[in-house]
Amino acid sequence: MASLSALLDNVVDGAETVMLFAPNSSYYERSLDIEDVSVVVCAAENSVGAERFVELPLEFTDVAERIRFGIEGAIDEEFLAEGDEVVCATKVFDDTIDTVTRIRVGEFDPSGTYDLLTDSRADPEVISAVIDVAIELGQKGQKGKPVGALFVVGDAGKVMNKSRPLSYNPFEKSHVNVADPIVNVMVKEFTRLDGAFVISDSGKIVSAYRYLEADGEGIDIPRGLGTRHMAAASITRDTTATAIVLSESDRLVRAFKGGELVFELDPEDY
């Protein structure tokens, strides 16, 4: 009679690396006894003292996104390479690891999430919240119609100095945070008018309706992207901010950092 372990052997057989997402110490110690397999830990902090470690700056309630982020981080840290067979062990229903999946590195295109969240000046939670707003706007639009938007996150003082108001600032002297669900509704409403949102490192909305006076000379963005994307690339070249753009024409969400496009996604995939 076949055993359950024999039935599932193909999930782990021949894997070269195991990625453990937030394991406890005993689980990690047991993993080190497995021969011919490299162990990578992906967690908020390296509490188990792992030699190979990828920081997990967010909870990532979506398991697929959590695993994708971990793999991109492991590639960036050169723990993984194209074609590697990886077993990922993570938590879904409990506080202990209860789910295992197998992936060949290269089966999906890197999203740029790792670089965007770990190397940006702003709090990862803030960038994630802004991306969520952009995704929802991309899915639903403004009253059913496509809408474009530009959010500049981090280095707010310098961004304000390199921009000018197009209209009154509805967030002047306020202390609202972009991650607040109520503010989320306000932000969507204000996307009806032109201009960029300026958001601090900690998520405070500093201003709306800002015209970015960044110089586009020397900026190279993909063909077909317009002035909103050029402004996003330029302001991130001239400051340490990150810019999140929702395109009105193709409804894709893109992120710019250091003057370059680093992230692109289709809201309809979420």
More confident residue, 31 or 112: 31
Element (H, E) at 257: strand 253-257
The domain made up of 4-110 has a fold known as Pyruvate Kinase; Chain: A, domain 1 (3.40.1380)
Q: What is the pLDDT of residue 125?
A: 92
Q: Residue 15 above 80 pLDDT? A: yes
Who's near 25: CB < 8 A, 6+ residues apart? 47, 48
The structural domains of the chain, with segments of one domain joined by +, span 4-110, 120-269
Q: Which of 75, 19, 96 is nearest to 50 (CA)?
A: 19
For the chain, helix (H) and strand (E) counts, in that order, are 9, 12
Kindly give, in sequence order, each residue whose CB lies less than 8 Å from that of residue 55, ignoring residues fewer than 6 positions away.
42, 43, 44, 45, 46, 73, 118
Q: What is the mean pLDDT of residues 135-159?
A: 86
Q: pLDDT at residue 1 above 60?
A: no
Residue 57 has pLDDT above 80, yes or no: yes
Give the residue, 118 or 201, on which the prediction is more confident.
201
Mean pLDDT, the chain, whole residue set: 88
Q: Do domains 4-110 and 120-269 have the same CATH topology?
A: no
> Structure tokens of 155?
């280095």
Higher-pLDDT residue of 14, 204: 204
Whether residue 104 has pLDDT greater than 80: yes
Label the pairing between strands 149-153 and 163-165: unpaired
In the predicted model, is pLDDT for residue 8 greater than 80? no
Give 89's pLDDT tier (boundaries 50, 70, 90). very high
Choose the weakest-confidence range: 10-19, 29-38, 107-116, 235-244: 107-116
What are the two backbone dihedrals, phi and then psi, of residue 117, each rounded to the nearest 5 degrees?
-85, -35
Q: Domain 120-269 adopts which CATH fold?
A: YojJ-like (1 (3.40.1700)
pLDDT for res 144:
67
User: Alpha-carbon distance 177 to 152, whole Å?
Assistant: 14
Predicted structure pTM score: 0.84
CA distance 113 to 65: 9
Task: Render 1-49 in DSSP notation, one character per residue.
Answer: ---HHHHTHHHHTT-SEEEEES--HHHHHHHTTSTT-EEEEEESS-TT-
CA 151: distance to chain centroid? 14
pLDDT band for 227, please (50, 70, 90 cuts): confident
Going by the DSSP 8-state scheme, the letter that residue 135 receives in this structure is: H
Residue 269's pLDDT is 78
SS (H, E, C) 203-256: CEEEEEEEEECCCCCCCCCCCCCCHHHHHHHHHHHHCCCEEEEECCCCCCEEEE
Share of the chain above pLDDT 90, in %: 53
List, as own/partner pairs, every contact residues 34-39 make where C-beta atoms lie below 8 angstroms and the sequence separation is at least 24, other chains included. Answer: 38/79
